[in-house]
A and B are shown apart, each in its own frame.
Chain A
Amino acid sequence: DAKTTQPPSMDCAEGRAANLPCNHSTISGNEYVYWYRQIHSQGPQYIIHGLKNNETNEMASLIITEDRKSSTLILPHATLRDTAVYYCIVRLSSGTYKYIFGTGTRLKVLA
């Protein structure tokens, strides 16, 4: 079972920020939060990951709450090409470092 809960779908206007929430209330202290997206039927694409601190890269920002029970992925200026299914994943902390994909959020960016 996935350790994360996400809304099934969201819409966002082109050029606006897309804020995608994720709940991971059972996360352990050394488990990372990863975000991937899947555009149409392509292979999933890595976006960003974090442990405790907020993170930013050229694609997105990741805000993790202080208690680490939830996080938000922010796409600062969404474009039509950002339309995809976004997966929030908690990566197990040791051994095989396996992670389990949930059902994700289908983000539709509207012109």
Chain B
Amino acid sequence: DTAVSQTPKYLVTQMGNDKSIKCEQNLGHDTMYWYKQDSKKFLKIMFSYNNKELIINETVPNRFSPKSPDKAHLNLHINSLELGDSAVYFCASSHISGQKFFGPGTRLTVL
């Protein structure tokens, strides 16, 4: 009964490939997020969806495209992967103004 789950946990791929990371929450929250944590351990918000609508879109390359098929899911698709995309990506969910619950993270390595 994991609250926020992500798949895969590890992702190793070549530069130029396209990959997706999936996120699901079973908490009934209306807001979901993607964060990126780079090698220096800075956690930066990338996107947020509230009731399937995009509400936060930070300065992220348009190679990154979030998709929310329903309130419980927020997937992240990345086109033309670059070396600098290597990081740990965390999904999170919350009620719009409440505490965030984070997933276990997906470690992406681009070779």
Known A96-B56, A98-B48, A101-B43: A43·B4 in contact at CB below 8 Å = yes
Binds A, one of B13-21, B70-78, B88-96: B88-96
Interface 1/0 per residue, A18-38 and B, CB below 8 Å: 000000000000000010101
**What is the count of residue pairs linking A and B with beta-carbon distances less than 8 angstroms?**
42
In the complex, are the beta carbons of B42 and A98 less than 8 A apart? no
> Chain B residues in contact with chain A, CB under 8 A?
4, 41-45, 48, 50, 55-56, 88, 90, 92, 96-97, 99-105, 107
List 7 additional A-B contacts (Cβ < 8 Å) besides A41-B88, A41-B105, A87-B43.
Answer: A42-B105, A43-B92, A43-B102, A97-B97, A98-B45, A98-B56, A100-B45
Chain A: CB-nearest residue to B101 = A46
Interface residues of B, dominant DSSP: strand
Residue positions of A touching B, CB distance < 8 A: 34, 36, 38, 41-46, 49, 85, 87, 96-98, 100-101, 103
- B100 near A96 with CB under 8 A, answer no
> Could you tell me the distance between the alpha carbons of A97 and B30 in the complex, rounded to whole angstroms?
13
Nearest residue in A to B55 (C-beta to C-beta)? A96
A44 / chain B contacts, CB cutoff of 8 Å: 43, 90, 92, 100, 102
